[in-house]
Structure 1
C-alpha cells in the first residue's frame, strides 16, 4: 500500500504502524539522538517487505558503526526495491553506493535525486553537514558548495527543525554567524533535543568567541543526552575545548576521560580518533602536560581502526598520534601510502607532525607551509581545523617569528588572535 512519510514522500509500506515507527526513527536519526536503529527495526518487523525501512536501518547501523550488518540490510533493501517507483529505487541506490565506498557516485546521484525529490530527507542528509559527501570531498570551495546545497533545499522544507539546523551550519562555516545563530535558535525552539542544532550552536558560539555562554549551554544540554548517541563523544570534545579555553584543566581531563577517549566514547572510531588527538595536542599547545601513555594508546587505536590510508581527515589525526607516540614506522607508512580525497596534503602534514615531535621547527615550517593554505580540503569544521592554525602559529613562535605568528592568526582566525591557547604566545 502507498502511504506518505512525515516529509510527504510516497512510500510502499503495508501498515500505518510500520510507517509510524519509520517516521519516529527518521526523526531520531536526523536529530542525532539515540534509538533510531531500534525504531527502524520495529518498522521492518511489522513489515518485512518494507524496502525503505531496510534502507533507513542500514543507514542508522552505519552511523552506529555496524558496517557488516548495514551492508547485509542494504542488500535486502535493494532486492525489495526492484519493483518500486523511481524515487524509492534511487533512494535505495544512494545509500547502497555510500555503503559500498563509492562516495563520488553517491554524491552525484544525491545531487540529481534531491533536485527531483528535495524533501527526501534521508537522502538529502548525505550531502549535508561537514562530515557529509560534500564535506569530505577534498575540494577547494566545499564550504561554499555546502551553503549552495542547503540554500537550494531550505525553501522546500518550511519550518522544519532539521533543515534549519543544516542550513545554519552552512551559514556558520561561511562566516555568517549572526544569521546562523538566529536560524539555529529557531530550530532548537521547535526541537530542543536536536543534537545537530545543539552541536552547530556550539560552533556558532565558538566562532563568536562566546566562551562563558557557550560552555554553560553545551554542558547543560549534554546532561540530558544519551551517551550512546552518535554525537555524544564529539559534543564532549566541544565541552573539553571550552574548558581548555577557559583555563579549567581539571574539567578538561575529566571530559576527555569520561566522554572522548578510546576507553570512554561509544561513538564512531573516526570521531574517537580525531577528537582525542585534537584535544590532546591542543592541550599541549596550551602548556598542559600530556602523558606519553595517552599518545601511545591513541596510536594503537589509530592503528587498529585506520591501519591503511584513504580517509584523509582520519589520516591527519592518525599521523599526529603516531608522531607524538614516537611510532615512526606507523608514521612513515602514512607518508608512503597517503591516498584519499586529500592524500597530497597528508604527506607533508605527516612529515610535519614527525618534525614537531622531534622539535625540528624549521622542517616543520617547511612542511606545514605546503598545507596551511588548503586546510579546507582536509575536511572537518573551522573549529576542528584550528588544530592546524594553532600548530602553525606555534611553530612560527618556536622559530622566533612572533610578529608573523600574530599576523597569521589575526588574518586567518581573528577569533583566536587576541588570546590564543598557545603557551609560547605569551612568553
Structure 2
C-alpha cells in the first residue's frame, strides 16, 4: 500500500505544468513533452528530435505521439506527410489508455490527415473548451487559422481563454504572442503592439512576439521604426528557427522606402536558400521578396534559378495553394514552361476529384493567381488584371497574413499600370496610399497613374511625395 507522499507523486505525474491531465504516468516523459512544446513555441531547437528522444524511452506515451503528429501538420509539405501519418498510427494503437483530452487531439489530427483542416480546428477547439490551458491545442489552432486565413479565429482562440491566463501560468508569454498577432490581423494595432511588447518583457527572445510587432509596423507604415526595432533585437531573434521570416519583414521596410541595396543584402545574406535544407517556409519568403523586387523594376540576377530548382520537385504537390502560388512565382520568373504546365495540370486534375479543405483555396485564389502570374510574365497585363480584379477581396482564403497576401494587390496594381488602365491604376494606388501614406512605392504608383492619364501636375506632386519619403 502506498504512503501519502507516494500517492501525491503519482497524482502529480498525471498532469503537465499547467494542470492538464496526461494519461501516461511518468514525470520524465511529461517533462520531455513540455520541452518539445516549448521548442515549437519559441522556434528554437528541434522539437521533433526532442520528442523522438522521449518516445524512444517511452514508446507508449500517447501524448508524445500526438504532439509529433500535431506539430508536423504545420509543415504543409508532402515529404512530411508520411511521418505525420506514422505518428498518428502509433497514437491510434494506444487509444485504449487515452483520456478525453488526448482523444480530442487524436481526432483533430485524424481530420487533418483526411484533408478536413477546418474539422481539425473544431476538434482542437473542443479540447480547448474543456481544457483552456492546453497550450499545444491553442498553438495548433492559432497556426492552422493562419494557414487557412481565418482572421477572426487567430484572435478568438486566445480571447476565449484570455481571463484565465496570467504570468503565474507557464507559457503565458506565448499566449500573449498569439493574441497580439490575432489582434494585428484584425487591425487592432495598438492593442496588438501592447501585448506583443508585454510578451517581450517576459521573454525578450520570443520570435513570434517580435513578429507581431513587425506586422504592426508594416501595416502602419512605420518603416524606420520597424528597421530600428528589428535591428535592435536581431541578435536575439536572429538565432531562432523563425529568423528567415523576420529578415523578410525587415527587407519589406527597406523596399517600401527604396533602400534597394539593403534589400539585396538581406536576401543574399539571410534568404538565399542555396545552402539550406529545403524548408518551404524559407523558400516562400525568398520567392515573395524576389517577386516584389521585380515588381518595382529592380533586377534579380540569377537568384530565381536556384529557387526554381528548389520548388520544381514540389510542382505537383497540390497540398496547399499558398505553396503552389510561390512555386509558380519561381517557374514563371525563371521561364520554366514545363514546370508551369505540370503545376497547372496537377491542380486542374486535383480540383476535379478532390474534396479536401484546400480545394476552395486553390479554386478561388490559388489557380487565378498562378494564371495571372503567367500572364504578367508573358506581358499580357490586361489578362492579369482581369483575373485578379474579381478576387481582390477574397485573397484571405489563400491563407497567410495581410502582409504576405499583399503581393496579389501589388501585382494587380502593377499590371494595371503596364496595361495602360490608368483610371483603375489610380484608384488602386490611392487605396494603397490611404492605408500606408508613408510608402514611397505607393506614391510612385500614384505618380505613374497620373502621368498615364496626362495629369503632369498631380504626377509631379506624387513624385515629390515619394522622394520625401526616401531615406538614404
Which TM class, normalised by the smaller chain length?
0.7 to 0.9
For structure 2, list consecutive stretches of 5 or more residues without a partner in the other structure: 1-9, 352-358, 449-472
Matched position secondary structure for 2:94: helix
Give the deviation of 1:356 after TM superposition: 0.9
Report if the CA contact (8 A) 1:168-1:180 is conserved.
Answer: yes
Report whether the alignment pairs 1:396 with 2:416.
yes
Report whether the alignment pairs 1:364 with 2:384.
yes
Residues 203-237 of structure 1 deviation map (CA, whole Å, 9 limit, x = unaligned): 1111121212212222343333465x542221221
Structure 1 residues 306 and 391, CA gap change in structure 2 (3 angstroms): same
Give the deviation of 1:289 after TM superposition: 0.7
Query: Which one of 386, 395, 407 corresponds to residue 387 of structure 1?
Result: 407
Query: Which one of 142, 167, 185 corresponds to residue 128 of structure 1?
Result: 142
Distance 2:241 2:127 in 1: 26
What's the counterpart of residue 419 of structure 1? 439
Structure 1 residues 190 and 57, CA gap change in structure 2 (3 angstroms): same
What's the counterpart of residue 120 of structure 2? 106
Query: Which one of 18, 31, 39 corresponds to residue 7 of structure 1?
Result: 18
Report if the CA contact (8 A) 2:111-2:120 is conserved.
Answer: yes
Matched position secondary structure for 2:97: coil
Report if the CA contact (8 A) 1:22-1:53 is conserved.
Answer: yes
RMSD of the TM alignment (CA)? 2.7
- Over 6 Å off, 4+ runs: none
Matched position secondary structure for 1:5: coil
Q: How does 1:7-26 map to 2 (within 5 A)?
A: 7-26=18-37
Report if the CA contact (8 A) 2:138-2:158 is conserved.
Answer: no
Query: Which one of 105, 108, 111 corresponds to residue 91 of structure 1?
Result: 105
Give the deviation of 1:284 after TM superposition: 1.2
Distance 1:413 1:44 in 2: 53
Distance 1:385 1:169 in 2: 16
Report whether the alignment pairs 1:285 with 2:305.
no
Distance 1:219 1:95 in 2: 38
Report if the CA contact (8 A) 2:257-2:440 is conserved.
Answer: no
Matched position secondary structure for 2:128: helix
Residues 239-279 of structure 1 deviation map (CA, whole Å, 9 limit, x = unaligned): 2222323433233223222322331455731x233212210
Distance 1:199 1:418 in 2: 21
Distance 1:107 1:15 in 2: 29
Query: Which one of 159, 164, 171 corresponds to residue 156 of structure 1?
Result: 164
Distance 1:267 1:197 in 2: 25
Give the deviation of 1:330 after TM superposition: 2.8
Q: How does 1:17-36 map to 2 (within 5 A)?
A: 17-36=28-47
What's the counterpart of residue 268 of structure 1? 279
Distance 2:390 2:337 in 1: 21
- Greater Rg, structure 1 or structure 2? 2
What's the counterpart of residue 319 of structure 1? 328
What's the counterpart of residue 96 of structure 2? 82
Distance 1:75 1:232 in 2: 33
Distance 2:438 2:428 in 1: 12
Distance 2:271 2:246 in 1: 9
For structure 1, list consecutive stretches of 5 or more residues without a partner in the other structure: none
Q: TM-score of the superposition, structure 1-length normalised?
A: 0.88
